[in-house]
């Protein structure tokens, strides 16, 4: 299972359905996100959600800790797939210059 989907499932399981929908699109994923630092944004969004939803605060903060610990980081396979993609190759060309 793709890590973006694992994250989406974890978010949905605790009742954060809107964030789960975003995650399923790759919004918080290392290589699919339009954000420069998607995991930092995810940690911040979870912190904000914990303040808005006190009834599930503990679950949200537990998930946030898992994010910080790297439980939803892109897998090696996802990294290799990105590296082989046109975007990945272009990024490598820019880094080598």
Q: 74 in helix, strand or coil? A: coil
**Which residues have a Cβ under 8 Å from the Cβ of 51 and sit 6 or more positions away?**
57
Tokens representing 33 are 């996100």
Higher local confidence (pLDDT), 78 or 23: 23
Q: Are 39 and 32 in contact (CB under 8 A)?
A: no
**pLDDT at residue 88 greater than cutoff 80:** no
What's the confidence (pLDDT) of residue 94? 81
pLDDT in tens, 40-72: 999 999 999 999 999 999 999 999 999 999 999
């Amino acid at each position: 299972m793709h890590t973006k989907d694992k994250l989406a499932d974890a978010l949905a399981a605790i009742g954060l359905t809107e964030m789960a929908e975003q995650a399923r699109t790759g919004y918080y994923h290392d290589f699919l996100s339009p954000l420069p630092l998607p995991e930092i944004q995810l940690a911040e969004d979870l912190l904000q959600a914990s303040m808005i939803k006190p009834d599930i605060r503990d679950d949200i903060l537990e998930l946030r800790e898992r994010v910080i610990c790297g439980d939803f980081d892109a897998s090696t396979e996802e990294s290799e797939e990105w590296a082989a993609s046109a975007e990945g190759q272009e990024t490598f060309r820019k880094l080598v210059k």
